[in-house]
Structure 1
Amino acid sequence: MNSLQRYLPQDKKKRTLSLLIFDIIISCLASLGAVYVRFDMRYDVVPDHFFMHALQYLPIYIISVVLIFKFFKLYDIYWGSATAKNLLTIMGATAVVTLVQFFVMSIAHLDMPYGYFVLSFAFLTGAEWLLRFSLRIIKAFSDTTAKDDPTIVLYGAGEAGSAILHELKHSNLTEGRVVAILDDDRNKWGRYIDGIKVEGGCGSLKKVLHQVKPQYIYLAMPSATPTQRKQLIEAIQATEAKVKIKVLPGMYQLINGEISVSKMRDVDITDLLGREPIKVNLDEVVGYLKDKVVLVTGGGGSIGSELCRQIANHHPKKLIVFDIYENNVYDLQQELKRTNPDVDIEYLIGSVRNTHRVEEIFADYRPQIVFHAAAHKHVPLMEDSPNEAIKNNVFGTYKVAKAADKYAAERFVLISTDKAVNPTNVMGASKRMCEMIVQMMSRRSKHTNFVAVRFGNVLGSNGSVIPLFKKQIAHGGPVTVTHPDIIRYFMTIPEAVSLVLQAGAYARGGEIFVLNMGDPVKILDLAKNLIRLSGFEPDVDIPIKFTGLRPGEKLYEEMLMEEEGMKDTPNKLIHIGSPIVFDDDHFENELKELNEVSQADTPDIRRYIKKIVPTYVMPEERK
């Protein structure tokens, strides 16, 4: 908050009352002062009747000023950010006041010289301009910014940056003072925007940050690509300045005139992915979801709930949310009631392991599209409870897939994972078996197109590293990383769901859809970046601790098995792995044996998993 603003009334009613009092004083001075000036500022030569007429009209003059100013909404403007347009508004209001004054005094036979009306108009207009623009005038000639306000370096001297700067300098609703501006456009270097110099571009970052030591950097570049934003954020971090970064998210705000400090958001780790977000063909998605009954198993989870949100926007006939965890379903229910009140949605509690419950849902609702997102996914927990991983992931998928075929669903889309490729843990092996179930059912089914969608780690999902790192940083560290060289592919939840929905449109049966997720990300770099984005220095303010690889954890994940091959789709970021041929009858017999073993909670269930998934690396086989 600007220091001058600290002494102004912050309550709107008090500000309006203050203006009313000043307007009454100005009205008296304008009315009586005009008489005095009209007669050469000599009180002794002013005719008594002119002075008396001015006094007689003064109460009406004051009332007319207040009412006309209110009509022109002059009491609703925050004058610390007044513009040239407001000057014209004041002039229009004072002109109306003077016209009313002229006609009323003429009708009431309160004769006055014509020069009096011109002078009273000029005095009233000038005084009101001075009053309303006093804050702007003082700011123009003095540094009225509080020295204890947060200091900001603004990156971006275009339209968005100018709007942010103007608001910071002239609004009492924002805090912070801009101490320097940077921009990549050389033509803007050395120029001044609202009194602040554009110091240079990215090459001047280190020098400027170390000179002014800001607390924040505001990136006001709505047209920047994800790659450009990533490069700039990395350049800021390379300066080792302890600074928090905020960004203006996108072009739509510039187009819609929504540029403001309130629209700035903290830099998210997704800003460091450095690639364009996945785009889907909405016409294709709407084409197969509109007016259909859609079932989402695991609908309360990270991926499942986002699937439900996006499906609800594509006009399904009915959406069925099915999950075993009622708290998540309740939260999603309250959200969708608010955001999509007109969509017919059923919220059902139950387990995909319960054959009768699954059959009941398919018999009652006859879903045409099925998205199967229900699964146990935490690798370390599934290593400790391998039988539960098999019961839930493998046979939950098998039961839902069998029901989808029995009740002639059009499409069945399995949510899979990169951990299914050459799995080194039970969770990944269970997902590989789920993909095999999908391919087997695709070859056997006469009604349903069965497909799987495989992607990497999802930023912000339950159990992902980002929420864990954020909690650890909030508690002062240490941030725990299993291995300095561990890498992962990452995508956002909306991207993952976009892929799933697009895969449903491409489904012809048996495909495993794989996303081109760009370059893998080193988890250690992710941790360091998140610490810096939080305004701290890694291993100085927040220590990083290496804990060692967990059971079943790989240093890197693979997205595609060698024998699958690769085909493109119309969406260049989505590829198709060719179906792997295996003996369906033999596979089904092995599943029956695995089911018996898992139900018996056999300790050596991994040996049976290995029989079905030869690429699975058992603990004793790991180096």
Structure 2
Amino acid sequence: MIYKVRVLFLIVLDIILINISLLLAYFLRFELSFGNISSEFIKEIPHLILIATIIKIAAFYIFKLYNSLWKYAGIYELMNIIIASFLSNTFMLGYVFLTQTHVPRSIFIITFFIDCFSIGALRLGYRVFRRIIRGEVILIRNNKKILLIGAGDAGASLINEFHLHPELKSTPVAIIDDSRGKQGKKLNGVTVVGTRNDIVRVAQEKDIDEIVIAIPSASPKTINELFSICSNTKCKVKILPSLSQLIDETVSVQKIRDVNIEDLLGRDPIKLDNNEIGSLISERVVMVTGGGGSIGSELCRQIAAFSPKQLIILDNYENNAYDIQNELLVKHPELNLVAVIANVREKPRLENIFRGYKPDIIFHAAAHKHVPLMEANPTEAIKNNIFGTLNVAECADKFGAKRFVMISTDKAVNPTNIMGATKRVAEMIIQAFSKHSKTEFVAVRFGNVLGSNGSVIPLFKKQIEQGGPVTVTDPEIIRYFMTIPEAVQLVLQAGAMAKGGEIFVLDMGEPVKIYDLARNLIKLSGFEPDVDIKIEFTGLRPGEKLYEELLLAEEGIEATKNNKIYVAKPLHTDLAILRREIECLRDIIINNADQVRDYMKIIVPNYDYKDIV
């Protein structure tokens, strides 16, 4: 009812403005005097007013000038007003020409401009009036002051959004942009006041509360540089997601979020060949061992999107398997999904599973991976990472799987810890099987993944929540990092490229100092490093390196068609000899467990557990 009253009220105002517009056009046409208008023209005015009112109200209705929310009026609504006025006045001109009505033709040109001004002023004036009535202009001092970085389309959209939502109590007061041509210019009423070199000065001078990086197209390197500068202010720093994260490519205040560590460590979007991945997975039975873990669960998420015939989640830990199973059933109700609780160490159980489901593709992500924990429990690392991998590989071979993709680690290269050494043996198993089996065995090697279970990021976050200190083993320690989705995308792509026997090495980008990572996380949490939250150095742990390597010296790499994936040169591994060594390892675990490291060094000659760097 209220809406209908508002529309009726608006129509009445438009009728009044249409009549005034026509009369004013006559007044202007005849030198600002109605006395100059001939009686022949005057007698046609009532008739013209009636026809113009009917035609223009109809045009306004057709162009939805009565359906818009005028408190949000902008360019789109103004364009509709211009088009409706132009067409209606053109129609009137045609009407008087055909009926030979005595009217000066220039009247309708003048009327067009008056219509645009008066009708537009009525709509846009309501928006301005509403802002004044609600105190948006008067109470600006009580709002949070925003410094925008980026004077592009995204920045312009955000300024409009802030203006349209006074309840956010946030007001853009200045813009930073590196373009020299934009300096001093205004963007929707907000001035560009400098480049990135002026951020700290502007934040101080204008008493900025919050900085928003509004450059969705910016590279991760640029985001990192801008954040580093912004961290020298006392302002909260937020960001508009990248274009790849803005799925519908629309910009809104609701999409502004806190800067996270992935923004600072991320890299350019990965280009995948989805057709190639789809041809590997679509309509095939796919098994993911360790499917409830951080890597395994993300593998399941991405595999589900490629419509496998059946997806088997195999995990030893029921809670993890249960969580990812429920998540996928909600997101993909059509998916043929099976969750199997099993331990890769138990060969008979695995054989029953393979016999029943006959998987075509196996992604082997089940492994013990925590370096310090495995140093204290070397036999468990061997049982899971070596014996478990051998069991799954033998089942894949025996039951005719098409492809077997093992998740490996950079710690397998010149290992200084038992976990890395066991993963190197697992790689050797894969390469040895590839020479004798119809199954295509490959491994994918990469470094640390952000946010995975037991990684340094969750540990640092927990330490920050507890008020510190944040513990770093050494000020010079560096690591390669990759996001979980990025790692899994490349695993799938590498798996699709495989021919058998390869060790694919993922491009991990630039290495990151763990000390810098800790400082950034503290800043992102709103604290000052070494002031609010202390950073303490604890010394390298057993089996830990200052840096990780992605290649053995003798491997070398070859490029692939994907610039993020390389292939390490295959090394010859004799399966029969490797089997005997693994069987000896079983005996040593049972009878002489304290000698496992010495024997591991026989299997992996470059395993150096004594000389920890």
Answer whether TM exceeds 0.5 for this pair: yes
Aligned equivalents of 2:181, 2:119: Cα separation in 1? 40
* 1:74/1:90 contact within 8 Å kept: no
Aligned residues: 544
Q: Once the two structures are superposed, what CA deviation does each residue of 1:41-73 show, in whole Å capped at 9, x if it has no partner?
A: xxxxxxxxxxxxxxxxxxxxxxxxxxx99x979
Aligned equivalents of 1:535, 1:235: Cα separation in 2? 15
Aligned equivalents of 2:124, 2:257: Cα separation in 1? 37
Q: Once the two structures are superposed, what CA deviation does each residue of 1:221-241 show, in whole Å capped at 9, x if it has no partner?
A: 11222232222223333xx11
* Residue 338 of structure 2 is aligned to residue 377 of structure 1: no
SS in 1 for 2:208: coil
* Residue 516 of structure 2 is aligned to residue 525 of structure 1: yes
Instruction: Give the equivalent residue in structure 1 for 2:277.
Output: 285
Displacement, 1:20? 8.8
* 2:464/2:470 contact within 8 Å kept: yes
Q: Once the two structures are superposed, what CA deviation does each residue of 1:402-440 show, in whole Å capped at 9, x if it has no partner?
A: 000001111111100000011111111110110011111
* The one of 536, 553, 558 aligned to 1:567: 558
Aligned equivalents of 2:449, 2:339: Cα separation in 1? 25
Instruction: Give the equivalent residue in structure 2 for 1:410.
Output: 402
Q: 1:579 to 1:129 in 2, by over 3 A?
A: closer
Displacement, 1:478? 1.4
Q: 1:609 to 1:23 in 2, by over 3 A?
A: same
Displacement, 1:530? 1.5
Instruction: Give the equivalent residue in structure 2 for 1:594.
Output: 585
Q: 1:215 to 1:356 in 2, by over 3 A?
A: farther
Q: 1:76 to 1:578 in 2, by over 3 A?
A: same
The aligned runs of 1:411-490 (5 Å cut-off) are 411-445=403-437, 447-490=438-481
* 1:377/1:427 contact within 8 Å kept: yes
Amino acid in structure 2 at the alignment position of 1:439: Q
The aligned runs of 1:21-60 (5 Å cut-off) are none
Segment of structure 1 superposing worse, 385-394 or 592-601: 592-601
* Residue 193 of structure 2 is aligned to residue 199 of structure 1: yes
Instruction: Give the equivalent residue in structure 2 for 1:622.
Output: 612
* The one of 207, 222, 226 aligned to 2:220: 226
Amino acid in structure 2 at the alignment position of 1:485: E
Instruction: Give the equivalent residue in structure 2 for 1:156.
Output: 150
The aligned runs of 1:262-281 (5 Å cut-off) are 262-273=254-265, 275-281=267-273
* Residue 176 of structure 2 is aligned to residue 182 of structure 1: yes
SS in 2 for 1:461: coil
Q: 1:601 to 1:478 in 2, by over 3 A?
A: farther
Displacement, 1:212? 2.6
Displacement, 1:142? 7.4
Q: 1:599 to 1:73 in 2, by over 3 A?
A: farther
* 2:68/2:77 contact within 8 Å kept: no
SS in 2 for 1:604: helix
* 1:81/1:136 contact within 8 Å kept: no
Q: 1:303 to 1:255 in 2, by over 3 A?
A: closer
Aligned equivalents of 1:259, 1:160: Cα separation in 2? 6
Aligned equivalents of 2:285, 2:481: Cα separation in 1? 31
Amino acid in structure 2 at the alignment position of 1:567: E
Aligned equivalents of 2:263, 2:447: Cα separation in 1? 17
* The one of 217, 231, 234 aligned to 1:242: 234
* 1:391/1:599 contact within 8 Å kept: no
Displacement, 1:326? 1.4
Amino acid in structure 2 at the alignment position of 1:189: Q
Q: Once the two structures are superposed, what CA deviation does each residue of 1:105-148 show, in whole Å capped at 9, x if it has no partner?
A: xxxxxxxxxxxxxxxx9xx9899758843545628997344544
SS in 2 for 1:563: coil
* Residue 314 of structure 2 is aligned to residue 335 of structure 1: no
Q: Once the two structures are superposed, what CA deviation does each residue of 1:70-127 show, in whole Å capped at 9, x if it has no partner?
A: x9796983x54333655799999xxxxxxxxxxxxxxxxxxxxxxxxxxxx9xx9899
Amino acid in structure 2 at the alignment position of 1:566: I
Instruction: Give the equivalent residue in structure 2 for 1:308.
Output: 300
Instruction: Give the equivalent residue in structure 1 for 2:309.
Output: 317
Displacement, 1:28? 11
Displacement, 1:24? 10
Structure 2 gaps of 5+ residues are 17-59, 85-114
Aligned equivalents of 1:486, 1:139: Cα separation in 2? 59
SS in 2 for 1:554: coil
* 1:154/1:161 contact within 8 Å kept: yes
Displacement, 1:460? 1.2
Q: Once the two structures are superposed, what CA deviation does each residue of 1:8-47 show, in whole Å capped at 9, x if it has no partner?
A: xxxxxxxx97x89999999999999xxxxxxxxxxxxxxx
Displacement, 1:535? 2.5
* 1:152/1:180 contact within 8 Å kept: yes
* 2:481/2:512 contact within 8 Å kept: yes
Q: 1:577 to 1:133 in 2, by over 3 A?
A: closer
Q: 1:84 to 1:617 in 2, by over 3 A?
A: closer
Q: 1:431 to 1:137 in 2, by over 3 A?
A: closer
Aligned equivalents of 2:350, 2:244: Cα separation in 1? 43
Q: 1:463 to 1:141 in 2, by over 3 A?
A: closer
Displacement, 1:158? 1.1
TM-score normalised according to structure 1 size = 0.79
Q: 1:254 to 1:199 in 2, by over 3 A?
A: farther
Instruction: Give the equivalent residue in structure 1 for 2:26.
Output: none
Amino acid in structure 1 at the alignment position of 2:227: I
Amino acid in structure 1 at the alignment position of 2:199: L
Tell me the percent identity: 51
Q: 1:231 to 1:27 in 2, by over 3 A?
A: closer
* The one of 487, 490, 502 aligned to 1:499: 490
SS in 1 for 2:292: coil
Q: 1:467 to 1:622 in 2, by over 3 A?
A: closer
SS in 2 for 1:300: coil
Structure 1 vs Structure 2 CA RMSD: 3.5
Q: Once the two structures are superposed, what CA deviation does each residue of 1:431-482 show, in whole Å capped at 9, x if it has no partner?
A: 011001111111221x111111100000111111111112222222211111
Structure 1 gaps of 5+ residues are 1-15, 33-67, 93-120
